[in-house]
Chains A and B, each alone.
Chain A
Amino acid sequence: MNTAILIGFPLVAALLILFLKSEQAKKFALAFSLIELILSIYALSEFKINAEPQMMVNLAWIQTLGIHFKVAMDGISILLVLLTTVLVPLIILSSFSRDIKNPKYFYSLILFMQMALVGVFTAMDGFLFYIFWELALIPIWFICLLWGGENRARITFKFFVYTLFGSLLMLVGLIYLYLHTSGTHSFDIQALYSAGSSLSSPEQTWIFWTLFIAFAIKMPVFPFHTWQPDTYTNAPTQGTMLLSGIMLKMGTYGLIRWLLPMAPLGVQQWGHAAMILSIISILYASIIAIMQKDFKRLIAYSSIAHVGLISAGIFSLTVQGLQGGMIQMLAHGINVVGLFFVVDILFNRTQTQELSKFGGIRNVIPYFATMFMIVLLGSIALPLTNGFIGEFLLINGVYQYNAYMAGFAGLTVILGAVYMLRSYQKIMLGETNTLTSTFTDLNFNEKAVFVPIVLLIIVMGVYPKPILDIAEPAIKHIVELIHPAVIL
């Protein structure tokens, strides 16, 4: 098994779908994404738990410039690849009972996006990483543009320019590092690491900010978040799921893989600032989420809060913080897809997302209420759900960094409970009104999306050890690269 197959298969599938009939597109898309899932599970079975990148493919690509097609997976990569391959079938399945125009192109773009995402998580060459990074942007931009809500032209454009700005900054940073690699220059990740750590402190500061801004826009972290709520709200449900469930993780993954080891001095000098920004975004987004009237927007802001905590944990530069970040990336990906699916079901039945218009849905369909409750508990990090493990480790990591900051970061648990439980109360509990009394039951496809999500939430919450074990050697390796003296 090698990594290139995991990247290549979705691309082939995306092209194949273009030649199918429209009615067949979604079934084939689901089948292809399930095959990809099986391939990735097979890759996991071959994976050996150590810090080495495995299943490597290393081909000369642009030899003149020292650029290689080098993809491999270590513990961090394989978990995110699995997140992608688990979520994409669910995302495709979630669209089954919806009427989607031009389905061929829609599913083809989703699979194309999957290719780019797997590429981002496995690229071990700076140039290749950048290419995949940008490639992921094109399909999601088209998904938002072609299947989005009103105002989509303006909103998707803002989204595109914002992220492209970040990417170009990152590209300049990467080229700068590339030009400081020894000998005939190379984009190999190891060469970039050693070039980065050999730079002087002011130079590393520049590298730090170019990369950090790129990743901070993608996540997004305050004050680079202004594109996010509009884009999430306007995108079609599947687009929002892709954006929040997987694409957001490109940013946090970038922090771990590309930023921390590449500018260790820059991180030591400016990590504090990044930490403060992350904690501001936790508080700021949580407070705004409490004020939201629109449920989809509320979840969009909650996503900023969660990712803020992930980023704070990563900048604590401790093994616990990074481990928590890993777990929380997976947990948040699963939970947020569940939450956006709840929004989709609500909108599909009632044509509204406004919290105040709902009420008493639990009386009509208890199954839906239960599923929503479990996803919600995962999201507010109740013990024995997946969110708890992540947040606990993250806050633990931040505490080791600075106790006061951990105090502020910990507020996310309380604030998260406030806005989530409040929205549950408004949607599910209370009197059934005219709008919600006609709420139709979930169909088979919709139930089928919730089952794996709920299972994952509980299983990961009860027994997270395998995930922690897989990630641990790779994370320790990264932490050692930042401060060699600390061995934990």
Chain B
Amino acid sequence: MKTLYILTALGVIAMLAEMFRFKKFLLPIVLIGLLGAIASSVKDWNTNIHYYNYMMTFDNFAILFTIVLCATAFLWFMMSQNFLDSDPIAIGSSKTDHYALVLFALCGGMIMVSYSNMVMLFLGIEILSIPMYVLAGSRKDSLSSNEASLKYFLMGAFATGFLLFGIALIYGATGTFDLKTLSYFISSSATVPTWKVSGAEPLLYAGILMMLIGLCFKISAVPFHFWAPDVYTGAPTPVTAFMATIVKTAAFAAFLRLFFTCFSGMGSVWMNTIWVLAALTILLGNITAVYQTSVKRMLAYSSISHAGYMLLAILAMNDHSLGSVLFYAAAYSVATIGAFTVLSIIENHQATRNQQPATVTFETLSGLAKQNKFLSFAMTISMLSLAGIPPLAGFFGKYYIFTSALQSGYVWLVLIAVLGSLIGVYYYFRIIIKMYSPSLTDLQAQPTAVEEKGELLSFAEVGWDLRIVLILTILLALLLGIFPDFIIRLI
């Protein structure tokens, strides 16, 4: 619980930094603070303490997800220095605002993983979302960034409406916001629950489905995904990285917590829906990603498809569900941060060279391996991990989720998911192939092209913080993949 205080304090400190002029030290302060937050949540291990009259429960599930969120945020702060400090495009946006907004969003994420009352779920989602709406539009002069912000806000508000309506209906049927009481109502067969007597059953069903829709918006499952590609593409790349990792992880944890603790007894109401949603998400996400030319948009669709795989774990509802979602979220976050780091390095490089915002397409990447072996290696590892190639983390994540789904008997859905990952290989590998193939300028072999080479991205141009992030993502992808037992035995 101290973790939440630490994160909030960090946010406040970030706002004060402008006033008291210690902006320079903000990054170290935040990084140390995040490490402290991780340490303080480790200290709460196995305590299961409830706070504020059961509004929040800091159980092991919450602790593990908090650690994943804070660790991802740690990597994120290191990778997004360019965005936070000196975004070449953004005008007038201040560094401290960005820090504060991100940290407050992180607080929201933490509430989402540790709530035990539906009101807190709603608050968490709002605290997470509102800074994200602002951050998505932080590139004020860019039309697409503004579009992203507006779209995200409208769709987000819409989804929250659904969620809130669902909560209200469930409250109407059962008379409680508390997850424990709620699960007691739903699962207990001995006592006749009040809602059965009063004929409020349809209210409860409708409520569950509405909450399902609201949460599916947040995790961008098909067919509630339409906002995601535009928002992901329009928002500044580091913000996209934040949305694709931290927001998604928090939303999944919230999803899992709600459905696992409360609604597992009423599987017949929502399981078929999720089955169809998962199949659609996997297929549509992967197939649409194949047709993208912009790398960022491709990553947006790939992130949609990954949501589909994680839905499998929610559907499986067995001992391995929690562990597999946790592991998958961690593996996916690490690989995604890696990919977005490389992407933003290239984008910044292009933008400073051309003095205008750059879109990185597959063509832009061609020949990258020749210019910068390190970047292309880091990208390769990320892509291999996302594609689920052993021995990287992404493979074990997929493996674990598929196994737990098979254990619950979802053979066909797993086959669809396998097919989906096979399609996924196509676009992830296209990036690798592009990077390791000669670029167009190489093929034409103009004498001037050699001179131009000097201007291309060299290793020295990659800042030390970005190098550390990339090395960390490579190591984590390998370590998580080779020794997954450290994480999964925790749950």
Contacts and interface: CB of A to CB of B under 8 A. Distances in A.
B415 A61 contact: no
Interface string B377-400: 000000010000111000100011
A64 interface: yes
Interface string A145-172: 1100000010011001100110011011
A115 to B, nearest CB: 12
A171 B406 CA distance: 12
A135 B390 contact: yes
B406 A176 contact: yes
A20 interface: no
Contacts of B402: 171-172, 175
Contacts of B433: 145, 153, 156-157
Interface string B96-107: 000000000000
Given A62-B484, A175-B406, A145 B436 contact: yes
B418 interface: yes
B425 A131 contact: no
A61 B485 contact: yes
B403 A65 contact: yes
A160 B428 CA distance: 12
A134 B403 contact: no
Nearest to B414: A172
A222 interface: no
A175 B417 CA distance: 14
Contacts of A65: 400, 403, 488
A175 B398 CA distance: 12
The interface residues of chain B, by DSSP majority, are classed as helix
Contacts of B403: 65, 175, 178-179
Nearest to B489: A64
A340 to B, nearest CB: 24
Contacts of B414: 172
A171 B421 CA distance: 13
B437 A153 contact: yes
A63 interface: yes
A146 to B, nearest CB: 6
**Chain A binding surface, main DSSP class:** helix
Interface in A114-158: 130-131, 134-135, 138, 142, 145-146, 153, 156-157
A161 B426 contact: yes
Nearest to A146: B436
Nearest to A105: B373
Contacts of B484: 62
Contacts of A62: 484-485, 488
A64 B425 contact: no
A82 to B, nearest CB: 26
Contact of A161 (B391, B425, B485): B425
Contacts of B426: 157, 161
B429 interface: yes
Contacts of A64: 323, 485, 488-489
A49 to B, nearest CB: 34
B422 interface: yes
Contact of B390 (A61, A134, A179): A134
A161 B424 CA distance: 10
A428 to B, nearest CB: 37
B391 A165 contact: no
Contacts of B272: none
Given A134-B390, A138-B384, A153-B437, A168 B485 contact: no
A168 B406 contact: no
Contacts of B384: 138
B293 interface: no
Contacts, number: 62
Nearest to A133: B390
B288 interface: no
Most buried by B among A142, A146, A171: A171
A168 B421 contact: yes
B407 interface: yes
A179 B406 CA distance: 8
B449 to A, nearest CB: 18
A138 B387 CA distance: 12
Nearest to B487: A64
Most buried by A among B402, B433, B489: B433
Contacts of A138: 384, 389
Nearest to B396: A62
Contact of B425 (A135, A145, A160): A160
Contacts of B421: 168
A156 B426 CA distance: 12
Contact of B391 (A63, A135, A145, A171): A135
B489 A168 contact: no
Contact of A63 (B406, B422, B425, B485): B485
Contacts of A171: 399, 402, 418
Interface in A171-189: 171-172, 175-176, 178-179
Interface string B301-339: 000000000000000000000010000000000000000
A274 to B, nearest CB: 22
Contacts of A178: 403
A157 B429 contact: yes
A162 to B, nearest CB: 10
A435 B389 CA distance: 46
Interface string A37-68: 00000000000000000000000011111000
Nearest to B432: A145
Interface centre among B390, B415, B425 (most CB of A within 10 A): B390
Interface of A: 61-65, 130-131, 134-135, 138, 142, 145-146, 153, 156-157, 160-161, 164-165, 168-169, 171-172, 175-176, 178-179
The 5 closest A-B pairs by CB, nearest first: A62-B485, A134-B390, A131-B390, A64-B489, A153-B433
20 contacts: A63-B485, A64-B323, A65-B488, A134-B395, A135-B390, A138-B389, A146-B436, A157-B429, A160-B429, A161-B425, A161-B426, A165-B422, A168-B418, A168-B422, A171-B402, A171-B418, A172-B402, A172-B415, A175-B403, A179-B403
